[in-house]
Structure 1
Amino acid sequence: MSADTRTRGAQFDDVIHAPVRLRVCGLLAAAEEVEFSVVRDAVDVSDATLSKHVKVLVDAGYAAVRKAPSSVRTDARLLTWLRLTPAGRRAFSAHVAALRAIAQGLAP
């Protein structure tokens, strides 16, 4: 397999590459959508820090946010659900491919 074949579709993405955003995208890529507090706890950041990084992903068109009432809570607070958009899934996959190419000594 040629280097061109192995790096096809690889695209390094500065928006995704920030450590918190990379971890968030990894979590979201594994599911249809994930509740905000689950992502916050898994990434081990504050609400404010996660909100800031989610905003960057949303502004880039890579993530979407949905507010919905809880099926188990009795108060009126809404839960925040996060998901990758189709563009976000493509960008994350391309970024991971670029990282793999870099790790293998290939130029993406």
Structure 2
Amino acid sequence: MSVGDIDMLLHPPARLQIAALLAKVSEMEFAKLRELVKVSDSVLSKHLAALADANYVHLRKAAAEGRQRTWASLTATGTRALARHVAALRAMVAHLPVAAE
């Protein structure tokens, strides 16, 4: 992997955080994702739309508790893109010393 493998779609911190969170679960409800990423509804919607347009995220809408809810899940394409992106970030900083705790 090289620095050239950095995925500019995943590079913004909120998108990287969304992808990392979704990589841990089969799917996550919009409100929980918003709470964890600490962004507004509109900001999360824009990030999820961009990730869905690239087929990195699948969005599922359904009624739950009397309201329309949205769930997001990372697709296989998104999982591969996240792995490439993280590997590129690791390669970029591999020469740096480990910080002392």
Q: Same fold (TM over 0.5)?
A: yes
Q: TM-score, normalised by structure 1?
A: 0.82
**Paired amino acid for 2:87:** A
Encode CA deviations 1:53-93: one digit per residue, 9 max, x unaligned: 001101111111001222xx2x2x12100011100000001
Equivalent residue runs for 1:3-82 within 5 Å = 7=1, 11-70=5-64, 73=65, 75=66, 77-82=67-72
> Percent of aligned pairs with the same residue?
45
Match of 1:4 in 2: none
Which residue of the other structure, out of 82, 88, 99, is the alignment partner of 1:98? 88
Match of 1:87 in 2: 77
Instruction: Give aligned pairs, total.
Output: 95
Q: TM-score, normalised by structure 2?
A: 0.87
> Quick one: distance in 2 between partners of 1:51 and 1:68?
16
CA-atom RMSD, angstroms?
A: 1.7
Structure 2, gaps ≥5 residues long? 96-101
Structure 1 contact 57–63 (Cα < 8 Å) conserved:
yes
Structure 1, gaps ≥5 residues long? 1-6
Q: Which structure's CA Rg is the greater one?
A: 1
